[in-house]
Amino acid sequence: MTGQGQGRRPYDQTEITVEVRAVNNRFVKIQTRVSDALSGLEPQIESVVKQSLRRGSLQIGVYISGNTASSDYALQAAAIEAYYHQCITLATKLGVESGVTIASLLQLPGVVGESGGRLNEVDESLAAAVLGTVLDAMECLNRMRLAEGQSMGNELAEQLEKLRETTVLIGQRAPKVIEEYKQRLHGRLAQSLAEVGGQIQETDLIREILVMADKADIREEVVRLRSHFLQFQALLDDTSSQGRKLDFLIQEIFREVNTIGSKAGDAEIAQRVVDMKSIIEQMRELVQNVE
């Protein structure tokens, strides 16, 4: 499900800001963008997010602004001087100009160090504040997703009711299919036998009708469909996350409807099966985004 959320918390002379955006995805996919001073917290941030999100593609930005940069890093004078003297000594030994500049020295490893280390590595209270802000943003996101989920649940319930109604119509039509087949078969046999002076053998007629009725019997499929509908409604009413179970039930419902279409051998039922498949496809698109 889609949504966005934001969290803000003051910390000392800084402000922590967390922004999250989520779009539909069958699985969990997280992209993080974190201020350098907080980069060590990325695994913990992702852990907090996964506890609040089971499906969706999420982008999360975690930033800290304020009076931090000036105290985080410092030039290492001793390292710079050591590099400089070594360069001069080596240039004199080789009889070449050193060409050493402060810009070239600053590119060497170890000349810029952290005064006191990164904030997230030494300050547990800051880490707690950051993760708390992440939770704030996720709660904001989930409130929006909950509202969307309720709307999707209402729509799924309406579509489920349409499937129920159509299944009832198919169940009412099925016995008539056998009766109409019996009448058509009787008429064709009577016409054919009249041309050669024969008579209809009732036993043969009954045997043929029974064979057709057995092939076209959809009672089991209708019973299973009704069971699936009850399970689907129960999952919709459940307050816990049921997206994957709904997805599975949709597949089972489609399988039963498809079997009815292949067995019934009736134009009216075939049309209703097409209608049901269209509804199921709409439900499938919704369910794949339900957490």
Residues 252-282, buried b or exposed e (16+ Cβ, 10 A)? Answer: ebbebbebbbebbebeebeebbeebeebbee
6-16 residue pLDDT tens: 999 998 888 99
- Mean of pLDDT values over 240-266: 86
Tokens of 238: 């459940």
Select the more confidently predicted residue: 283 or 212.
283
- The answer on pLDDT for 210 being more than 70 is no
**How far, CA to CA in Å, does 226 sit from each of 164, 169, 243?**
7, 13, 20
Select the more confidently predicted residue: 30 or 211.
30
- Cα 6 to the chain's mean position, in Å? 21
User: For tokens 């070239």, what's the residue?
Assistant: 104
Name the residue type at position 102. Answer: I
Inter-helix orientation angle 124-196/267-287, to 10°: 170
Share of the chain above pLDDT 70, in %: 79
Q: What is the mean pLDDT of the chain?
A: 81
Question: Considering only 144-148, 166-170, 193-197, 268-272, which range has the smallest mean pLDDT?
Answer: 193-197
Residue 42 near residue 131, CB atoms below 8 Å: no
Beta-sheet pairing, 73-75 with 56-66: unpaired
pTM exceeds 0.85 for this model: no
Nearest by Cα to 74 from 26, 102, 111: 111
- The answer on pLDDT for 20 being more than 70 is yes
Tokens of 83: 């590099």
**How far, CA to CA in Å, does 107 sit from each of 168, 282, 288?**
77, 58, 50
Task: Write the CB contacts of 212 (distance below 8 Å, at least 6 apart in sequence).
Answer: 178, 181, 185
Q: Which stretch of DSSP H or E encloses residue 101?
A: none
- The answer on pLDDT for 282 being more than 80 is yes
Residue 249 near residue 227, CB atoms below 8 Å: no
86-139 residue pLDDT tens: 988 988 888 888 888 888 888 888 776 655 444 444 378 888 999 999 999 999
Q: Which stretch of DSSP H or E encloses residue 62?
A: strand 56-66
Residue 280 near residue 253, CB atoms below 8 Å: yes
- The answer on pLDDT for 156 being more than 90 is yes
Residue 164 binned pLDDT confidence (cut-offs 50, 70, 90): very high
- Mean of pLDDT values over 174-189: 66
- Mean of pLDDT values over 230-258: 88
What pLDDT is recorded for position 280? Answer: 95
What pLDDT is recorded for position 231? Answer: 93
Question: Considering only 52-56, 118-122, 251-255, which range has the smallest mean pLDDT?
Answer: 118-122
**Exposed, middle or buried: residue 33 (CB in 10 Å: 0-12, 13-18, 19+)?**
exposed
- Mean of pLDDT values over 243-253: 89
Residue 40 binned pLDDT confidence (cut-offs 50, 70, 90): confident
Start-end of H helices in the chain: 42-52, 69-72, 77-94, 102-106, 119-122, 124-196, 202-215, 219-237, 243-264, 267-287
What pLDDT is recorded for position 271? Answer: 92
What pLDDT is recorded for position 142? Answer: 87
What pLDDT is recorded for position 116? Answer: 45
Determine the Cα angle at 106 with ends 105 and 107, to 5°: 90
